[in-house]
C-alpha cells in the first residue's frame, strides 16, 4: 500500500535539535504534506537558518511561544486553517529551557520558568492540537499506532530519571530542568492513557547528550547523529512504545 503524505509539527524548530529535525524529516520522512516548524520569533536572527530552509513550500513557519498558552492557541488556530479537512499526524514537543542550578541556589522564578516551558507548554500543545491528531487517526487506514498515523513524541532527558538522579545530579546540577522534565514524563504517561482509545501514540525520547547550545561542547554526539537515530526509532514505533521513555537508540530508560 502506498504511503499517504503526512503533516508534522515541531516546536523549537529554529535551532539545535529542532532545526536538525526539520532538515532530516524533509529528507527521510517523505511523502510529506506540510511541516509546521514552530518558533517564538520567526523574524528574528535566531530563525535565519529556518527561514532559509523554508524556501521549500512544504515548510510553514508558525509563531509559537510554548511558555504562553495564548500563543499556543493562536498557533493551533493558524495550523488548523492550513490543514483544512486534513489531520495532523505527528507532533514533536522539542522546545525546552535548561537552567544550571543546584538545589541550594534554585529560585522560585527558575522553577516556574522551567516548569512553564518544559511541562505546561507540552501539556497545552497536546490539548490544543488534539482535534487535529484525532482527525489524522480517524482518516488513517493503518492498524495500531505509528508516527504516520497519529503520534506525539516528547523530547525528555536522562536527567529526568528519578532512579538515576543520585548518580547524575552532581555532574548535571540543573534542578529546575530536572524537576520540570520529570513532570513532563508524568504528564505524557497520563496523556497516553487518555489517548489510547483514539490510537494516538504518545511517548518520550531522550536524544543523548548532544553538542547544541543546551548540551554544550562536551556533549557525546552531534545533532545529526542524534536526530538520525531518533527518527529511525520513531519510524519503527508501534503501540508497544505507547507511554514509554526510550533513548535515541530505542533502549528503554528508567523513570
Ligand atoms: P537548544 O537550547 O539548542 O534549543 C532549544 C530550542 O527550544 C530553541 O529552538 C529555543 O528557541 C526553543 N525554546 C526555548 N524556549 C522556548 C519557548 N518558550 N517557546 C518556543 N521555543 C522555545 O536545545 P537542544 O536543541 O539541545 O534541545 C532540544 C530538546 O532536547 C529539549 O527538549 C532538551 O531538553 C532536550 N535534550 C537535549 C539534550 C542535549 O544534550 N542537547 C540532552 C537531553 C535532552 P529560541 O531560539 O527562541 O530560544
Could you report the per-residue pLDDT of 8-64, keeping only the tens digit for each? 999 999 999 999 999 999 999 999 999 999 999 999 999 999 999 999 899 999 999
Kindly indicate whether the ipTM for this predicted assembly is greater than 0.95, answering yes or no: yes
pLDDT at 1 over 70: no
HSE-up of 20 (CA within 13 Å, CB side)?
Answer: 17
Q: How many CA atoms lie within 13 A of 152 on its CB side?
A: 34
Task: Specify the pLDDT at position 2.
Answer: 72
Mean pLDDT of all residues in 181-187:
98
Q: What is the pLDDT of residue 229?
A: 98
Q: Record the cell numbers describing residue 59, joined without a space.
A: 515548510
Q: How confident is the model at residue 3 (pLDDT cuts 50, 70, 90)?
A: confident
Distance CA 134, CA 150 (A): 7
Cβ neighbours of residue 89 closer than 8 Å, sequence gap 6 or more: 6, 7, 8, 133, 136, 140, 147, 148, 149, 150, 151
Is the confidence at residue 199, as pLDDT, over 70? yes
The closest-lying atom of ligand 1 relative to the alpha carbon of residue 46 is 46
Mean pLDDT of the region 211-219: 97
End-to-end distance of the chain based on CA atoms, in angstroms?
38
From 9, 14, 17, the mutation candidate for ligand 1 (largest count of ligand atoms within 8 A of CB) is 17
Is the pLDDT score of 184 beyond 80? yes
Please give the model's pTM, rounded to 2 decimal places: 0.98
Lining ligand 1 with CB less than 6 A are: 11-12, 14-18, 39-41, 46, 65-67, 94-97, 117, 155, 157, 206-207, 209-210, 212-215, 219
Q: How many percent of the chain have pLDDT more than 90?
A: 97
- Residue 138 has which C-alpha cell? 480517524
Amino acid at each position: 500500500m502506498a504511503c499517504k503524505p503526512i503533516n508534522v509539527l515541531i516546536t523549537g524548530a529554529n535551532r539545535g535539535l529542532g532545526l536538525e529535525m526539520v532538515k532530516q524529516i524533509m529528507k527521510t520522512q517523505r511523502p510529506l504534506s506540510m511541516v509546521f516548524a514552530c518558533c517564538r520569533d520567526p523574524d528574528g536572527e535566531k530563525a535565519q537558518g529556518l527561514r532559509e530552509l523554508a524556501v521549500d513550500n512544504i515548510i510553514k513557519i508558525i509563531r509559537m511561544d510554548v511558555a504562553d498558552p495564548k500563543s499556543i492557541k493562536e498557533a493551533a488556530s493558524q495550523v488548523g486553517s492550513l490543514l483544512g479537512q486534513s489531520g495532523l499526524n505527528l507532533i514533536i514537543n522539542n522546545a525546552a529551557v535548561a537552567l544550571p542550578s543546584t538545589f541550594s541556589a534554585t529560585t522560585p522564578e527558575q522553577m516556574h520558568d522551567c516548569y512553564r516551558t518544559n511541562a505546561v507548554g507540552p501539556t497545552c500543545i497536546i490539548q490544543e492540537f488534539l482535534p487535529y491528531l484525532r482527525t489524522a487517526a480517524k482518516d488513517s487506514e493503518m492498524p495500531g499506532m505509528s508516527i504516520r498515523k497519529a503520534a506525539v513524541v516528547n523530547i525528555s532527558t536522562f536527567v529526568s530519571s528519578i532512579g538515576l538522579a543520585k548518580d547524575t545530579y552532581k555532574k548535571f546540577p540543573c534542578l529546575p530542568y530536572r524537576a520540570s522534565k520529570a513532570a513532563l514524563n508524568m504528564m505524557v504517561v497520563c496523556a497516553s492513557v487518555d489517548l489510547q482509545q483514539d490510537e494516538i501514540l504518545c511517548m518520550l525520547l531522550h536524544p543523548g547528550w548532544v553538542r547544541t547550545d543546551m548540551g554544550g561542547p562536551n556533549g557525546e554526539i552531534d545533532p545529526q547523529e542524534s536526530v538520525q537515530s531518533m527518527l529511525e526509532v520513531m519510524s519503527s514505533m508501534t503501540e508497544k512504545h505507547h507511554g514509554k521513555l526510550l533513548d535515541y537508540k530505542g533502549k528503554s530508560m528508567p523513570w
